[in-house]
Amino acid sequence: MTYDMILAKGAKMNYASAMQSVLRLDETIYPAILASEQTTRYCMVNVLVFGVLHAVFSLSFSDALMIDAQMTESIPFISKSIFVLIGIAVAFFMHLGGGLFLWVFSRGVGGNTAFLPVYFNLGISFIGLWPLAPFLAAAQAGYSGGGTSVLLGLTAGYGLAVIFFGTKSASGLSLTRMSIAMGLAIIFVASFLYLWV
């Protein structure tokens, strides 16, 4: 795709059409978003919405747990608001940490040396994690079952696929090298989580 075609594609898109392309795993949309000068906005919106979704679903499952435990008092509104704000902060920290890991490993296998393209494309790719939020919150609240586990796995896999193509676009790696970088990042993060939990 030539630069003029990217500029034309970027001029015609809005948030909804750009995110549809991201969700369709179209890695050519990322340069078009950059050309339209919407990269930062789309990145921040997608990470923010993921943080809100996860926090709200976590709160809804905590209410259900409180009812199961026969607690009479509900969580006060101000506490719920603080919980949502903390959820947003955690989403941004997760975004930064994930961006650093993906940048290090994609750079290690010969990718683009710039950090910000990987960081912003990861943030834009967070729209692929939105369907994961309710199932992740349910699993964290202790709701286990075949259906929840299957849906958690499917939505996590789809989210990783969206992130894969966003990072591939930013790093300029081939499919094989990007698979290696993504695999290393997943192993590294899973090892940290195993040690932490």
pLDDT, one tens digit per residue, over 98-135 is: 888 889 888 888 888 888 888 999 999 999 999 998 88
30 in a structural domain:
no
23 in a structural domain:
no
Length of the chain: 197
pLDDT of residue 3 exceeding 50: no
pLDDT of residue 46 exceeding 90: yes
Rounded to two decimals, the pTM is 0.83
54-66 pLDDT, tens per residue?
Answer: 999 988 887 655 6
128 in a structural domain:
yes
pLDDT of residue 161 exceeding 90: yes
Per-residue pLDDT, averaged over 86-97, amounts to 89
Structural domain count, the chain: 1
Confidence label for 165 from pLDDT (cuts 50, 70 and 90) = very high
Tell me the CB-side half-sphere exposure of residue 47, using CA atoms within 13 A. Answer: 25
81 compared with 64, residue with greater pLDDT:
81
Place of tokens 């995110």: 19
Per the structure, the complete domain to which residue 106 belongs is given by 40-196
Grouping H, G, I as helix, E, B as strand and the rest as coil, residue 143 is: coil
Question: What spatial distance separates the first Cα and last Cα of the chain, rounded to whole Å?
Answer: 45
pLDDT of residue 172 exceeding 80: yes
pLDDT at 11: 58
Spatial CA neighbour of 120 closest among 31, 15, 55, 195: 31
Radius of gyration of the chain (CA): 18
Q: Are 62 and 138 in contact (CB under 8 A)?
A: no
1 in a structural domain:
no
16 in a structural domain:
no
Question: What's the token pair of residue 150?
Answer: 């299957």
Distance separating alpha carbons of residues 17 and 28, to the nearest angstrom: 13
Q: Would you tell me how many other CB atoms lie within 10 Å of the CB of residue 33? A: 27
pLDDT more than 90, % of the chain: 23
Average pLDDT, the chain: 84
pLDDT of residue 6 exceeding 70: no
Per-residue pLDDT, averaged over 157-169, amounts to 91
157 in a structural domain:
yes
Residue 5 CA: distances (Å) to CA of 16, 29, 66, 180? 19, 11, 55, 30
pLDDT at 50: 94
Place of tokens 């964290």: 140
Spatial CA neighbour of 171 closest among 106, 98, 122: 106
100 in a structural domain:
yes
13 in a structural domain:
no
Spatial CA neighbour of 56 closest among 81, 90, 93, 92: 81
